[in-house]
Amino acid sequence: MQLTRKGKISYFNPGWEKRGGVVAGFSTRNGGISRPPYNSLNLGMNTDDLPANVEGNRTTLARALGAGGEQLLTVSQVHGDDVLVIDSPNYDLRHFQRVECDAIVCNQPDLLLAVLVADCYPVLLWDPQAKVVAAVHVGWKGAVARLLEKVVKTMRDQFGCHPDQLLAAVGPGIGGHLYQVDRPVREAFVAAGHPWGSISREQAASRWLLDLQRCCELQLETVGVRIESTSRVEECTCCHRELLFSHRRDKGTTGRQAGFIMLT
């Protein structure tokens, strides 16, 4: 996935804008006003960054994408499996910031949906025919709960989307070569019936390297999203300090980038 620059910001672009009707991508950490260690385009309100800086960064992102700051819609992410469905106009988006969920499905234009990450994976979905989009935050708990499968089924059941017509983009997260997990995580995946051998490799006693990106792709395939319709960001958040925030690399003191999507 290529980097695109608009205004002050740069973002990983899945290329969907060429088809018309949508703006989508994954922000980097560059182009904002936050000071270290949150430099510079920190979009996360749940950090110790100055709220005024975060608000300014969010406005910068929205304007670069052809929206206003009041059109940016985020939620309170809790590593769960609840899905927020928006199927009618909403004029005050601030109340959504208190809604606890980790996925947003929407058929309304001019709402800039965003999920915030700093090692977890942002995943975007778009049905060009039905004009429905989704933004999903996937950490290991969401992966265990099959959140992506639930989102695709919600798009199908609520809006008549056909999974084989969906376009998907998996954004930057911590790579499977670095994401070490312990036995309780392994047991959670195995108990939920996930193909543990296909998404991990043993590193040491009671330690495994988990490939969450591969897990996301497998879940999308399971519910009928075509492999050739899914793109990915190859860059690992932990490895690319100049481009991306990483919670694990920076020991929890870091900013947040976003996966974003908007029907136009």
According to CATH, the superfamily of the domain at 20-139+150-172+230-263 is CNF1/YfiH-like putative cysteine hydrolases (3.60.140.10)
Predicted confidence at residue 95, as pLDDT, reads: 87
Residues of the chain with pLDDT under 70: none
pLDDT tens, residue by residue, 144-189: 999 999 999 999 999 999 999 999 999 999 999 999 999 999 999 9
SS3 content of the chain, % helix, strand, coil (to 5): 30, 30, 45
With beta carbons less than 8 A apart as the criterion, state whether 19 and 12 touch.
no
Domain boundaries, the chain: 20-139+150-172+230-263
Q: How far apart, in whole angstroms, are the C-alpha atoms of residue 194 and residue 200?
A: 11
Token match 């740069």: residue?
10
